[in-house]
């Protein structure tokens, strides 16, 4: 999805100007929705194994993206985009001692949007009728079916929404940090997002907290060498810190974090 956002941005930057990153978001969300629709058809209609389908689509998307980069740009990565999401300082708040420099200075603007999305997702999932129905088909689809809820339709919606949000995440990452697309653009960030979901116990706010924790570890890998307490630590250890912390978090919490009971389970009506 990062690929589609970058290519769209480069193709239409002279048409949309400063609006290009935002419109590229929509393009990436559409592509994410299409790929998730393939996953939905495979798992809901054809009852394929969810993990196998997801991994296969992930490999397909990665390979296809890198192939198209080579075909279109005749090199290993795209050109860099000219219009991207900035890192503005927030007036007044940036002047708060200590906190202002960390949270309100040179922070990607989409970081604040991501927090709002997490809060909105929590509200929709836990405080709305749609969210209740969505959770019911993930916890006990047979009971939901007997109550008149269209299980397959609700699952389709859930999978497609997840694909759209995945496209949004990839587009934001590519247009905020890397500013191009190549083989090392994402570098396993999607798997870290999956770890954050498990660490956060399938709760949007918990996942947000886990993502912030992992983000701190990544920042430590980048800037830790300049901090007094960490400058004596070899760079290699700081660079692997995010992934080590991810593994430790999963080892410590995966047994305690209970997934929806029907997660990854194909529903056959009447069984």
Domains of the chain, residue spans: 2-183, 188-264
Q: What single-letter DSSP state applies at residue 191?
A: H
Q: Using one digit for the tens of pLDDT, what is the confidence trace for 78-110?
A: 999 999 999 888 888 888 887 787 788 888 899
**Whether the Cβ atoms of residue 210 and residue 249 lie closer than 8 Å to each other:** yes
Question: Which residue shows structure tokens 């570890």?
Answer: 217
Tokens describing residue 64: 């296809």
Query: Residue 268: pLDDT above 90?
Result: no
Structure confidence at residue 44 (pLDDT): 96
Burial (CB count <10 Å: 0-12, 13-18, 19+), residue 230: middle
Q: pTM, whole model, 2 decimals?
A: 0.90
Q: What is the mean pLDDT of the chain?
A: 90
CA dist., res. 236 & res. 248, Å (int): 18
Q: Quick check: 173 and 189 in contact, CB under 8 A?
A: yes
pLDDT digits (tens, 9 = 90+) for 177-203: 999 999 888 877 888 888 889 888 899
> Counting Cβ atoms within 10 Å, is residue 233 exposed (0-12), middle (13-18) or buried (19+)?
middle
Indicate the Cα dihedral angle 68, 71, 73, 79, nearest 10°: 10
Give residue-wise pLDDT tens across range 137-184.
999 999 999 999 999 999 999 999 999 999 999 999 999 999 999 988
pLDDT, residue 266, reads: 93
Instruction: Write down how long the chain is.
Output: 271
Asked if 82 and 18 touch (Cβ cutoff 8 Å), the reply is: no
Q: Which residues of 243-259 are buried (b: 16+ CB within 10 A; e: fewer)?
A: bebbeebeeebeeebee
């Amino acid at each position: 999805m990062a690929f589609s956002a970058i290519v769209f941005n480069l193709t239409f930057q002279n048409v949309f100007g400063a609006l290009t990153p935002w419109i590229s978001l929509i393009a990436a969300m559409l592509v994410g929705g299409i790929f998730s629709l393939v996953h939905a058809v495979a798992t809901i209609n054809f009852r394929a194994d969810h993990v196998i389908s997801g991994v296969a689509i992930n490999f397909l998307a990665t390979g296809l993206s890198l192939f198209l980069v080579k075909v279109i740009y005749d090199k290993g990565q795209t050109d860099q985009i000219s219009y991207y999401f900035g890192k503005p300082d927030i007036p007044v708040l940036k002047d708060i001692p200590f906190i202002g420099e960390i949270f309100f200075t040179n922070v990607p603007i989409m970081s604040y949007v991501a927090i709002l999305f997490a809060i909105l997702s929590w509200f929709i999932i836990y405080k709305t009728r749609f969210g209740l129905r969505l959770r019911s088909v993930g916890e006990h689809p047979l009971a939901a079916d007997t109550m008149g809820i269209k299980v397959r339709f609700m699952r389709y919606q859930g999978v497609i929404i997840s694909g759209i949000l995945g496209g949004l995440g990839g587009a934001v990452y590519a247009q905020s940090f890397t500013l191009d697309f190549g083989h090392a653009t994402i570098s396993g960030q999607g798997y870290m997002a999956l770890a954050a979901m498990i660490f956060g116990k399938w709760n949007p706010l918990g996942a947000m907290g886990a993502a912030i924790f992992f983000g701190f570890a990544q920042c430590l890998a980048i800037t830790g060498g300049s901090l007094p307490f960490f400058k004596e630590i070899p760079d290699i250890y700081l660079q692997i810190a995010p992934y080590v912390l991810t593994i430790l978090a999963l080892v410590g919490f995966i047994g305690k974090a209970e997934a929806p009971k029907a997660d990854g389970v194909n529903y056959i009506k009447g069984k």
